[in-house]
Structure 1
Amino acid sequence: MRVDFTALFRTLADWAGAPESSDRQTGETLLAMMRALVRFDDIVIFAYHEKARPIDLFSTFDADDHHVFVTLYQAGPYLLDPFYRTTRAGRAGIFRMRELAPDRFFSSEYFRTYYSQTRLAEEIGFFVPVEDGVTVVVSLMRREKTGVFPAPEFALLGDAEPFVAAVVRRAWSGLAGRFAETGQGRGRRSEPLSAADRVWRKLNLTDREASIIELVLQGHSSESIGLKLDISTGTVKVHRRNVYRKLGISSQIQLLSIYLKNLQS
């Protein structure tokens, strides 16, 4: 795809001349800028803060896709999303989903039960930390019919990353207050535990069991979990068997079902 410089410079001129803008106006600016650079099917912009439910700032989905990509996602699956986990690690820059996904992500029940519904060939995210632990992620998505982003287009997006970050920081510098308004901000006495933490407490899992099961659900193998937690693969398997016995289950799909059900209860 050739860069549409006319559309790009027009978009940049409009952005530079605007004293301030709404979520939608900023989203439209980023949409126009990205479309001038590369081909993609949809864009979605989320703000993340610690374990709080992400805020949907902008998207281009129709009603059916909005239900899958936003409504269902915010209900709990975001906690297992590699993009969300990357914001928790405090990373910044542009990444392909497959760079961030655990080693068993594409065979995990999370992938089969939720992520496969998106029918994406690839997702690329710009990760922009803004303030007070809040990170904004601008996600560009290509469906299966469109295919993955070619290397030259990904490189072009990498060149654009500093400007994307500047647009995001200029528009969304007060998001920590918006999380606080929804009762999800830091220091809220009425919500001392995250949704995931409450599930593990309700299921009577120990902290170690909860850490292991979260990584299982994210798509990590026993070997990967052992490396992340600095324990042996055998110890991981023992904890996993104990959790399955405690919950009366025998498969990962049952584990995911219990997890999502308790998130929504």
Structure 2
Amino acid sequence: MKFNVRTRGDQASNILTQKIKNYLQEFKLDYHEDKPDIVISVGGDGTLLEAFHQYTHRLEETSFVGVHTGHLGFYADWQPDEVEKLVIHIAKTPFKIVEYPLLEVIIRYQGETKSKRFLALNESTVKSTEGSLVMDIEIKGDLFETFRGDGLCISTPSGSTAYNKALGGAILHPSLASIQLAEMASINNRVYRTVGSPLVLPQHHTCIMKPKYDADFQVSVDHLHLVQKQVKAIQYRVAEEKIRFARFRPFPFWKRVKESFIAE
């Protein structure tokens, strides 16, 4: 089995990363940055997001597992003092694959500029670089509403516990192949009217945002922040690809939610 270890970069994470690497090589596993079968993320959820984006081109071949070295990570199953146990599991026992839905983001441009495609594990946000964001929102090809406000957030089920939750969105179980659209401070008057509630779209529904005016936009895809010019439309839907997590022991989703937000 080929493996790679990604570190957050702080001293504690670096030491633990080297320990994991040494242990696995002692078990005759191959360290391979380009084509790993499993990627161990050491740090927090941000570290795992970076690892995910490094390997979006081989999601069918690569699985992920997280070790958290700070605050409890939502995607991290393992504590630093459990590293030896994790290494033995990786080296000696078959692991269960758990798949989570992803968000597909396609940005289309005016003129001859080629469209860009991204995948998000948590969410994508859209904001105007100046003033309010004004967008027509189409669902399944039909105009649903015209949004005016600070911005919009489109999240995956696993990402529904992040920015989406802070915006008042619902927490969705990752077994639901869906995306959620949440508003940031919408303006409602006689000209602009929105439903004023988060929307959950199933797998076969596509959401398209079309700018009402020519403007520059700040589009985020997880931790990536991109300034986009001459945007014609931004398309969102459930991606065909999924992220694969390596599970060596049960860690139910609702237990993660409880431990992240309400456990003492």
TM-score relative to the length of structure 1: 0.28
Q: Which one has a larger percent strand, Structure 1 or Structure 2?
A: 2
Instruction: Answer 1 or 2: which has greater helix percent.
Output: 1
What TM-score results when the alignment is normalised by the length of structure 2? Answer: 0.29
